[in-house]
Structure 1
Amino acid sequence: MPDSLSSPDGGRAAPSTFGAPVSPQGVDAPLRRSAVFLVLVMNDGDEAARTVREVLADLDGLVRTVGFRDLANPVSCTVGIGSRVWTELTGRKQPAELHPFREIAGAAHTAVSTPGDLLFHIWSDRQDLCFELERLLLAALGSAVTTADEVSGFRYFDTRDLLGFVDGTANPVGPDLPASTLVGDEDPELAGGSYVVVQKYLHPLAAWQALTTEQQERIIGRTKADGVELDDAVEGQKSHKTLATITDEDGEHDILRDNMPFGRPGHGEFGTYFIGYSRHLWVIERMLERMFVGDPPGLHDRILDFSTPQTGTTFFVPPTTVLAALDAG
């Protein structure tokens, strides 16, 4: 799939020290073994909005309640808020680029747009801690929300997706990480926030596994064993790696991917949950346009022949100061 806040040194945050649970909204938090991706729709009414504000304002408390069960294995949660409820919940103007996910229809494949007002990206090295934090969140939210989508993800071997390739090798690191993910002076009232797009993809694994390794590598644009980039196509059909790379006169624009595999083999369900954080929403949107429409148009990303999107939703991750300021008033 399309292959803060920020820690003080500008790189990926180090794991929390023993006895110090990780606070929410860590866009640059270290990759973990387990995650829950929970997308909710806020129900109508003042009482529902009041309940959601109370829960979001106390999110740090819920994280600490779960985190103190195992201080050596941090658990945390990043919250995104959708455009439909942003102003109602925060009392602030919309983030400059925030809008609902826009459907992208190519000749062969479509990036669908699906409902979602709240995203909870819960992560830990322990699946039970993710489960417990999700349980407490939903209990606190109660009838104020309806679940639109719920996926439990896991790290697969050496951070591979179910297609067998290492995922996230192009993620920014060091000072490039906050520069790529965190809003700055272009939207000063929300500086330190981040745009996030989520999509749930399903894979027909039998069809993918029928391809040779060389065919798979040409589609992805990297070697399968070690993730080394292959040369870009000079013309004609481009690889996933090339189509998912956005460049312009200002250079290359990176995003932070924290994708995770998920699946239920007994149901024949195998997938990748794409989650991308970006300073600019347009970067992810252009990436998806190149994949689904093609560059040139008509030559879509061939990974989509083996990856079907089931969802598509956009959110803005507010800085912790915005969450802390929410109340029932």
Structure 2
Amino acid sequence: MSGFPPYAPVVGGATQAFGAPLTANAVFLVATVREGGIDTARSVLGGISDTIKAVAFRDPTSTLTCTAGIGARVWPELARLPLPAELRPFTPVTGAVHTAPATAGDLLFHIRAERADIVFEFERQLVDALGDAVTVDDETAGFRSFDRRDLLGFVDGTANPVGIEIAEACLVGDEDPVHAGGSYVMTQKYVHPIAAWSALSTEAQEAVMGRTKADNIELDDAEDGQKAHKTLATIVDDAGAEHAIQRDNMPFGRPGAGEFGTYFLGYSRHLWVMQRMLERMFIGNPPGLHDRLLDFSTPLTGSVFFAPSAEALDALAD
């Protein structure tokens, strides 16, 4: 498959780094292309690899990467390629209690590095280049928390694929050859009522998550009735095959403003896998028994993008 080797180390920076290791810092930037801004957006996207080289040169060990995604609304005009087979706008999911909303966004820039100043400088140059061709819909700065824990205190991304399994889980293959090497991306920004979560006992929190808090050991699945988040977020098809996704979630927040959250970002070979995950969480399995984590995690945004391979992204500049 073409595109960034998802299990290789990042040396001096890279584009479309679908499986790059979690870094200390990240920015999730979502923007809408304004009328007349397509040509500028295309040019900037096609030049991202050069911008990465210029910024990463200051510290090649910072592992700077930027993965760019394009939404369905602007894909035909911007990419000038057929629509990826499963690409479409984010589909809201409405359950009896909770709803996953759809929000604006044509472009996604997932910027990662070990150093916050490297992330900042790359984003500054990116935003300057885009200028008034876009409107920024959301800009969220994330950070790695301890041993990859979210602000609820649990290890995040435990079920991520590893090594060569990442390519199988994340990268489109021969089923859509024009877009082979690319990946579907879903983003959601969640906020947490930390006081309410902290009021639960550790055992109650573990029952919601399906894992122990201290040592991240998986608990047994409930045979019937209410299922844990771990179970509802595991997708198995009709043939019994499990479908993993790559989660690059990061905590964010402002304690002084009472803001505590998790930015969910998932890469997948198939968009339907992430859609089914949301349906199991918000509607429930069986329906009516929603993921109890949603009682403590409120989604504010929801967007879908397709991240083309590094070669396809570079080709936009031609």
TM bracket (short chain)? over 0.9
Count of residues paired in the alignment: 316
Partner residue in 2 for 1:119: 108
Superposition deviation, residue 142 in structure 1: 0.1
Distance in 1, Cα, partners of 2:197 & 2:131: 41
Matched, 1:254 2:244: yes
Please point out which of 283, 289, 311 is paired with 2:301: 311
Tell whether the 8 Å contact from 2:4 to 2:309 is kept in structure 1 after alignment.
no
Please point out which of 288, 293, 312 is paired with 1:322: 312
Alignment of structure 1 residues 208-219 onto 2, 5 Å: 208-219=197-208
Tell whether the 8 Å contact from 1:161 to 1:272 is kept in structure 2 after alignment.
yes
Alignment of structure 1 residues 55-74 onto 2, 5 Å: 55-74=44-63
Please point out which of 158, 176, 182 is paired with 1:169: 158
Tell whether the 8 Å contact from 2:13 to 2:60 is kept in structure 1 after alignment.
no
Superposition deviation, residue 6 in structure 1: 4.6
Superposition deviation, residue 30 in structure 1: 1.4
Partner residue in 2 for 1:14: 9
Show CA shifts across 1:218-251 (max 9, x none): 0000000111100000000000000000002151
Query: One-letter code of the match for 1:53?
Result: R
Please point out which of 108, 133, 138 is paired with 1:149: 138
Tell whether the 8 Å contact from 1:13 to 1:30 is kept in structure 2 after alignment.
no
Distance in 2, Cα, partners of 1:250 & 1:14: 32
Partner residue in 1 for 2:176: 187
Matched, 1:159 2:154: no
Tell whether the 8 Å contact from 1:195 to 1:279 is kept in structure 2 after alignment.
yes
Query: One-letter code of the match for 1:79?
Result: A
Matched, 1:40 2:31: yes
Partner residue in 2 for 1:239: 228
Superposition deviation, residue 13 in structure 1: 2.3
Matched, 1:285 2:275: yes
Tell whether the 8 Å contact from 2:4 to 2:310 is kept in structure 1 after alignment.
no
Tell whether the 8 Å contact from 1:200 to 1:273 is kept in structure 2 after alignment.
yes
Superposition deviation, residue 15 in structure 1: 3.8
Partner residue in 1 for 2:290: 300
Matched, 1:31 2:16: no
Partner residue in 2 for 1:87: 76
Query: One-letter code of the match for 1:261?
Result: P
Question: SS at 2:62's partner residue?
Answer: coil
Contiguous gaps of at least 5 residues in structure 2: none
Tell whether the 8 Å contact from 2:181 to 2:309 is kept in structure 1 after alignment.
yes
Query: One-letter code of the match for 1:292?
Result: F
Contiguous gaps of at least 5 residues in structure 1: none
Distance in 2, Cα, partners of 1:5 & 1:106: 37
- TM, length-normalised to structure 1: 0.94
Distance in 2, Cα, partners of 1:266 & 1:174: 39
> Quick one: structure 1 residues 23 and 6, their matched pair in 2 at CA, closer, same or farther if it must change by over 3 Å?
closer
Distance in 2, Cα, partners of 1:62 & 1:321: 15
Question: SS at 1:72's partner residue?
Answer: helix
Runs of 4+ in 1 over 3 A off after TM superposition: none
Superposition deviation, residue 321 in structure 1: 1.8
